[in-house]
Amino acid sequence: MTMTTDKDNPDSGLLRRWVQYAIENPRRVYRVLFYVAIVFFMVTTLFPFYWLFVLALTPEGQLLGGGYLPDIELFGLSTTFPLPVPQGFNPEAFIAVFEQLPFHLYMLNSFVLAISTTVIVLVIASLAGYVFGRLEFAGRVPLMLAILAISYFPPAAFVVPLFEAFTGNTPIVIPFTEIPLFTPPRLLNTPGAMVMPFSAIFMPLSIFILTTFYAQIPDGLEDAARVEGTTRFGALFRVIMPLSAPGVATAAVLTFISVYNEYFFSSIMATSPDAANWSPIVGGILSFQTQYTTQYNLMAAASIVAVLPVVILVLIAQERIVSGLTAGALKE
Amino acid sequence: MARVKLEHVTKRYDDGESGVVAVDDMNMDINHGEFICLVGPSGCGKSTTMETIAGLTQPSEGEIYIGERDVTDLPPKDRGVAMVFQNIALFPHMDVYDNISFGLRLRDYPQDEIDRRVERAADIVQLEGMLDRMPDEMSGGQRQRVAIARAIVREPDVFLMDEPLANLDAKLRVHMRTELQRLHKKLDTTIIYVTHDQAEAMTMSDRIAVLDTGELQQIDPPLVCYNEPANLFVAGFIGSPSMNFLNGTVDDGGVETEHFYVKFDPAAVDDLAIGDQVTIGVRPENVHPATKTNEIAYPSAPINARTDVLEPMGDEIFAYLLMGEGNTSMAQETASSDQLLMSIDPDSPIQADDNIQVVLDRERMHLFHGESGDALTHNLVASTDIEATDTRVGSD
Rounded CA gap, A247 and A240, in Å? Answer: 11
Distance CA(B12)–CA(A322), nearest Å, equals: 44
Cα distances (Å, whole numbers) of residue A8 to A14, A22, B46, B126? 10, 21, 84, 81
* Cβ contact, residue pair A223, B85, below 8 Å: yes
Chain A nearest C-alpha distance from B216 (Å): 25
CA dist A186 and A171 (Å) reads: 11
DSSP code for A184: P
* C-alpha dihedral sign at B381, B383, B386, B391: negative
User: Nearest CA to CA, how far is B135 from chain A (Å)?
Assistant: 8
CATH 3.40.50.300 at B4-233, yes or no: yes
Among chain B residues, CA nearest to A138 = B16
Whether A34 shows a pLDDT value over 50: the answer reads: yes
| Alpha-carbon span A208 to A129, nearest angstrom | 7
- Determine the residue of chain B that is closest to A243 in CA distance: B93
Length of chain A: 332
DSSP annotation of B222 reads H
Report the candidate in A311, A320, A310 with the shortest Cα–Cα distance to residue A249: A320
Domain residue spans in chain A?
2-57, 92-326
Closest residue, chain B, to A234 (C-alpha): B106
Residues of chain A contacting residue B103, judged by C-beta atoms under 8 Å apart: 228-229
Per-residue pLDDT of chain B (396 residues; tens, 9 = 90+): 588 999 999 988 876 566 788 888 899 999 999 999 999 888 888 888 999 999 998 899 999 999 888 999 999 989 989 999 888 889 988 999 999 999 999 999 999 999 999 998 888 888 888 899 998 888 888 888 899 899 989 888 899 998 888 877 888 788 888 888 888 888 888 999 998 888 888 888 999 999 998 899 999 999 999 999 999 999 989 988 889 988 888 888 888 888 888 888 888 888 888 888 899 999 999 999 988 888 888 888 888 888 888 888 888 899 888 887 655 555 544 544 678 889 988 888 888 888 889 999 988 899 998 888 899 888 888 644 444 333 333 333
Per-residue pLDDT at A293: 80
Q: How far is CA B62 from CA A69, A152, B26, in A?
A: 86, 48, 8
Q: Are A29 and A22 in contact (CB under 8 A)?
A: yes
If you measure CA to CA, which chain A residue comes closest to B55?
A227
CA dist B335 and B245 (Å) reads: 5
Provide the ipTM: 0.78
Q: At A87, is the secondary structure helix, strand, or coil?
A: coil
Inter-chain residue contact A243 with B93, CB threshold 8 Å: yes
CA-CA distances (angstroms) from residue B264 to A206, A308, B260, B299?
Answer: 75, 95, 13, 11
Is there a contact between B360 and B299 (Cβ–Cβ < 8 Å)?
yes
Q: Report domain extents, chain B.
A: 4-233, 241-395
Q: Do residues B21 and B10 make contact, with C-beta atoms less than 8 angstroms apart?
A: yes
**Which among B260, B253, B348 is positioned nearest to B302, based on CA atoms?**
B260
Q: What is the pLDDT of residue B70?
A: 92
Contact B92 A227 (CB under 8 A): no
Query: Would strands B190-195 and B35-39 be described as parallel, antiparallel, or unpaired?
Result: parallel
Q: Which of B93, B107, B160 sits opposite A329 (nearest CB)?
A: B93
B153: closest CA of chain A, how far (Å): 10
Cα dihedral A142, A146, A147, A148 in deg (nearest 10) = 100
Whether A204 has a pLDDT exceeding 80, the answer reads: yes
Mean pLDDT to the nearest integer, A162-170: 87
Q: What is the mean pLDDT of chain A?
A: 85
User: Mean of the pLDDT values across residues A213-227?
Assistant: 90
Record: contact B90-A223, CB cut-off 8 A: no
- Beta-ladder partners of B218: B210
**Burial class of residue B99, CB neighbours in 10 A (0-12, 13-18, 19+):** buried
Interface test with B, best of A228, A243, A248 (most B CBs within 10 A): A228
> Distance between CA A86 and CA A108 in Å, rounded?
30
Compute chain B's Rg from CA coordinates.
Answer: 25
Residue B388: the pLDDT is 39
Rounded CA separation B95/B130 (Å): 9
Chain B hits for A328, CB-CB cut-off 8 Å, are 92, 136
CB B341 within 8 A of CB B287: yes
CB A166 within 8 A of CB A193: yes
Peptide bond into B241 cis (omega under 30): yes
Strand A172-173 relative to strand A180-182, pairing: antiparallel
Residues 6+ apart with CB under 8 A from A26: none
A→B interface, C-beta within 8 Å:
218, 220-221, 223-231, 234, 239, 242-243, 245, 327-332
Query: The whole model's pTM is what?
Result: 0.77
pLDDT, residue B155, reads 86
The type of residue at B149 is: A
Question: Which pLDDT score, from 0 to 100, does residue A181 have?
Answer: 85
**What is the distance in angstroms between the Cα of A32 and the nearest Cα belonging to chain B?**
39
Q: What is the pLDDT of residue B382?
A: 63
* Nearby residues of B1 by Cβ (< 8 Å), 6 or more positions away: B32, B67
CA distance A226 to chain B (A): 6
The length of chain B is: 396
CB-CB neighbors (< 8 A) of A236 in chain B? none
CA-to-CA dists, residue B70 to A269, B5, B7, B53, angstroms: 56, 9, 11, 11
The pLDDT confidence band at residue A174, using thresholds 50, 70 and 90, is confident
Q: Which residues of chain A form beta strands (DSSP E)?
A: 71-74, 77-80, 172-173, 180-182
Size of interface A-B (CB pairs under 8 A): 78
Widest pairwise Cα distance in chain A: 100
The arithmetic mean of pLDDT across residues A97-109, rounded, is 90
Q: How many CB atoms lie within 10 A of CB A326?
A: 8
> Using an 8 Å Cβ cutoff, are B83 and A227 in contact?
yes
Closest residue in B to A239 (Cα–Cα): B91
Closest Cα in chain B, distance from residue A134 (Å) = 14
Residue B103: which of A229, A328, A330 has the nearest Cβ?
Answer: A229
User: Dihedral of the CA atoms B325, B328, B334, B339 (nearest 10)?
Assistant: 60
B61-66 and B4-15 strand pairing: antiparallel
Cα B162 from Cα B194, distance rounded (Å): 5
C-alpha span between B252 and A239 (Å, rounded): 68
Residue of A nearest to B108 (CA): A229
Q: B355 φ, ψ to 5°?
A: -95, 120
The CA–CA distances, whole Å, from A84 to A55, A74, A80, B243 equal 10, 17, 10, 91
Considering only alpha carbons, which residue of chain A is nearest residue B135? A332
Question: Is domain B241-395 given the CATH code 3.40.462.10 in the classification?
Answer: no
Interface contact B54-A228, CB threshold 8 A:
no
Residues of chain B contacting A224 with CB distance shorter than 8 Å: 83, 85, 89-91, 150
What residues have CB less than 8 Å from B371, skipping those under 6 apart?
Answer: B277
Give yes or no for residue A59 having a pLDDT over 70: yes
| Shortest distance, CA A221 to any CA of chain B (angstroms) | 5
**8 A C-beta contact, residue A59 and residue A297:** yes
* CB-nearest partner of A243 from B92, B106, B107: B92
In this prediction, residue B389 carries a pLDDT of 39
User: Taking CB atoms and an 8 Å cutoff, what residues of chain B touch A331?
Assistant: 92, 136
d(CA B240, CA B253) in angstroms, rounded, equals 31
- The fourth-level CATH superfamily of domain A92-326 is MetI-like (1.10.3720.10)
Q: Write the CB contacts of A54 (distance below 8 Å, at least 6 apart in sequence).
A: A68, A84, A85, A86
A224 → closest Cβ in B51, B85, B107 = B85
- Asked if B244 and B282 touch (Cβ cutoff 8 Å), the reply is yes
- How far, rounded to the nearest angstrom, does the alpha carbon of residue B65 sit from its chain's CA centroid? 23
Q: What is the rounded distance in angstroms from the CA atom of residue A309 to the CA atom of residue A291?
A: 30
pLDDT at A11: 59
Provide the pLDDT for residue A329.
41
* Residue A322, pLDDT score: 61
For chain B, the maximum distance between any two Cα atoms, rounded to a whole number of angstroms, is 78
